[in-house]
Chain A
């Protein structure tokens, strides 16, 4: 099973700041890596798929990069609605797995 390790666990930032979230895979997943945002009481929402493709309707302040084992989600300038939990997910190997999540909280 591929283990996805997200860091940091919590990121404390102010609106307008840049957020950089990391996801590291225990073995290569090529570019089969997605990022989701989840707010309290809501279902997850797809942000990025195949490492760097923005999903439909996602603002361009969200960007993804990386390949192999190291991936990054960047939020260029945090808006109030961006404070949430973010998960990465790999679809390279079965079983599909998720990272443990990074909470982006207001500083």
Chain B
């Protein structure tokens, strides 16, 4: 069974940093691109970032470019999101999600993790 389990969320002050992790199991991790998608309270879904299976390619939404860094450790089957210079409008549930197409970077997502809540507030 494919499983994604996020961790690392919490309360952080504006301007602070946080690193999210997503532990993956049940599939050949380095064959699939992985993404982070967020959902602000009561709002819709926003794609945040993607990383290819080999980690050779990454991309970001304009709203986080220059502040967030996506990475992965294929030896540990783990995806990361380093979030710096956090702002109140970054408050959201952050989901990690597996791309559905083998070796493709642009993708639909299946499955998703259960999400981890990041709250940016003083």
Interface residues of A (CB under 8 A from B): 32, 34, 36, 43-46, 49-50, 55-56, 87, 89, 91-92, 94-101
Instruction: Pick from A43, A50, A91: contact of B114, CB below 8 A.
Output: A43
Interface residues of B (CB under 8 A from A): 35, 44-47, 50, 59, 61-62, 95, 100, 106-115
Considering the chains assembled together, what is the distance between the CA atoms of A95 and B45 in angstroms?
13
**B100 & A94 in contact (Cβ 8 Å cutoff):** no
Considering the chains assembled together, what is the distance between the CA atoms of A36 and B100 in angstroms?
13
Chain A interface helix/strand/loop/mixed = loop
**A98 & B100 in contact (Cβ 8 Å cutoff):** no
Chain A hits for B114, CB < 8 A:
43
With A95-B59, A95-B61, A95-B62 as known contacts, state yes or no: A46 contacts B108, CB within 8 Å: yes
**B109 & A46 in contact (Cβ 8 Å cutoff):** yes
